[in-house]
Amino acid sequence: MLKVIKSIREEIFGDEREFDSPHAPTVLELRDGNALAAWFGGRFEKDPDTAIWTARRINGVWEKPKKTVDVMNVAAWNPVLFRLNDDRIVLYYKIGAEIQKWHTEYVVSNDEAETWSDAYELVTGDIGGRGPVKNKPIYLSDNKTILAPASFEGDCWNAFADISEDNGESWEMSELVPLRRINPNERRIRDRVYNKHFCFGRGIIQPTFWEDKDGVINALFRSTSSRIFRSESYDKGRTWSLAYDTGLPNNNSGIDVAKLKDGALVLAYNPRENIPGMTKGSRTPIILSYSEDNGITWEELCVLENEDGAFAYPSIVCNSDNEIMVVYSANREKIIFWSIKVEH
The pTM (predicted TM-score) of the whole model is 0.96
Rounded to 5 degrees, φ, ψ at 297 are -125, 155
**pLDDT for 94 beyond 70:** yes
Confirm if 106 and 116 have CB atoms less than 8 A apart: no
Rounded to 5 degrees, φ, ψ at 59 are 50, 40
Nearest-angstrom CA–CA distance, 119 and 325: 27
* Angle made by CA atoms 55, 15, 252, in degrees to the nearest 5: 70
Give tens-digit pLDDT for 253-272.
999 999 999 999 999 999 99
Burial-class residue 98 by CB neighbours within 10 Å (0-12, 13-18, 19+).
exposed
Give tens-digit pLDDT for 113-164.
999 999 999 999 999 999 999 999 999 999 999 999 999 999 999 999 999 9
| pLDDT score at 190 | 52
Nearest-angstrom CA–CA distance, 251 and 273: 5
Which sign does the torsion angle of CA 13, 14, 18, 23 carry?
Answer: positive
Number of alpha helices (DSSP H) and beta strands (DSSP E) in the chain: 1, 27
pLDDT level of residue 197 (50, 70, 90 thresholds): confident
Confirm if 207 and 149 have CB atoms less than 8 A apart: yes
Instruction: List the domains of the chain with CATH numbers.
Output: 3-343 (2.120.10.10)
Nearest-angstrom CA–CA distance, 209 and 263: 13
Which has the closest alpha carbon to 74: 98, 106, 53? 98
